[in-house]
Structure 1
Amino acid sequence: MDFLQLVASRQSDRAYDMTRAVEPEKLERILEAARLAPSACNAQPWKFVVINDPDLSVKVGKATAGLGMNKFAKDAPVHILVVEESMNITSFLGAKIKDKYFPLVDIGIAAAHITLAAESEGLGSCILGWFDEKEIKKLAGIPSSKRLLLVITIGYSVKEKRKKARKPKEKVVSYNKY
């Protein structure tokens, strides 16, 4: 599959085959894609906590399903917890000088790598920002001083691919001026 086909086929999957585990070798390739993601000043301000124990995965999924949101997460066989780590001194200084918080950008790039790698492995994924951070940190042994920014569900999707709804190119792309 060429890259644009991969991007076009990737979607947020919200229903997983609970009877089918994610193969360890596929998960390792997905994590390698995340590890190799670029970051400002090569700070790599992330740690990926992989939840693939079935019982723990259900608990993390339930902690992700708050206020009626993300109910499907309890059925995902894998949850990748994306934890913000400290930036290096160069990234820190650049962030101060440019008034930009680079770790959020960097983690977004890593999350995109994870979801595209999952798609290339024939797996579905969904990036989630709505969850009970305190409960998941407790379940996964993440120190209270750390920020859990994203939960990414991974598994075999049970739903058909749908057509992407995107703004037309003219609305989001311009050349040489705004």
Structure 2
Amino acid sequence: MDFLQLAMSRQSDRTYDKERPVEPEKLERILETGRLAPSACNAQPWKMVVITDQELAQKVGKAAAGLGMNKFAKDAPVHILVVEESANITSLLGGKLKNKHFPLIDIGILAAHIVLAAESEGLGSCILGWLDEKEIKRLTGIPDSKRLLLDIIIGYPAKEKRKKIRKEKNKVISYNQY
């Protein structure tokens, strides 16, 4: 699949086939794609905690739901929890000088790699930022001192693709000036 087609077909899936597990070899390729994601000063300021145990995945999924959000997460067979780790000194100093927190940018790049890799494997995904961080940390042993930023859920979608709705090009792209 060429990259433009891959980007066009990728969507945030909100229904998963509970009976169809993700094959370990597909998951390993997805994780390797994430591991290879670029980061500022090669800091790689992340740790991926991969949840594949069905019972734990359901508990983590329930902890990602609340106030009517993300109810579907309990049905996803795989959760990739993205934990922010310390950046290296070069990235930290550069961030101070430029008033940017590069680890957040880097984790966004990691997440994009993961969901596009999932799509290329024929899997659906959704990036969740709304979650009960404290409960998921308790369930998975993530230290209290760490920041759990994302839960990327992966599985076989239970519904067909939707029509992609995006802003018109001239609303989001300009050349040579704002």
Q: Which residue of 1 aligns with 2:13?
A: 13
Q: Which residue of 2 aligns with 1:136?
A: 136
Where 1:100 maps in the other structure, the secondary structure is: coil
**Aligned equivalents of 2:140, 2:56: Cα separation in 1:** 8
1:10-89 residue pairs with structure 2 within 5 A? 10-89=10-89
Q: Which residue of 2 aligns with 1:167?
A: 167
Q: Deviations over 1:114-165 (max 9, x none)?
A: 0000000000000000010000011010000000000011000011111111
**Aligned equivalents of 2:22, 2:163: Cα separation in 1:** 25
TM-aligned CA deviation for residue 66 of structure 1: 1.1
| 1:107 maps onto 2:126 in alignment | no
**Aligned equivalents of 2:177, 2:72: Cα separation in 1:** 43
Give the counterpart letter for 1:8 in structure 2: M
1:114-129 residue pairs with structure 2 within 5 A? 114-129=114-129
Q: Deviations over 1:40-59 (max 9, x none)?
A: 00000000000000000010
**Aligned equivalents of 2:22, 2:91: Cα separation in 1:** 35
Question: How many residue pairs are counted as aligned between the two chains?
Answer: 178
Give the unaligned 5+ runs of structure 2: none
**Aligned equivalents of 1:122, 1:69: Cα separation in 2:** 25
Give the counterpart letter for 1:6 in structure 2: L
Q: Which residue of 2 aligns with 1:177?
A: 177
**Aligned equivalents of 2:85, 2:47: Cα separation in 1:** 7
**Aligned equivalents of 2:68, 2:169: Cα separation in 1:** 34
Where 2:82 maps in the other structure, the secondary structure is: strand
In angstroms, what is the RMSD of aligned CA positions? 0.4
Normalised by the length of structure 2, the TM-score is 0.99
**Aligned equivalents of 1:160, 1:58: Cα separation in 2:** 23
**Aligned equivalents of 2:175, 2:74: Cα separation in 1:** 44
TM-aligned CA deviation for residue 67 of structure 1: 1.4
**Aligned equivalents of 1:167, 1:74: Cα separation in 2:** 31
Where 1:151 maps in the other structure, the secondary structure is: strand
Where 1:58 maps in the other structure, the secondary structure is: helix
Give the unaligned 5+ runs of structure 1: none
TM-aligned CA deviation for residue 63 of structure 1: 0.4
TM-aligned CA deviation for residue 68 of structure 1: 1.4
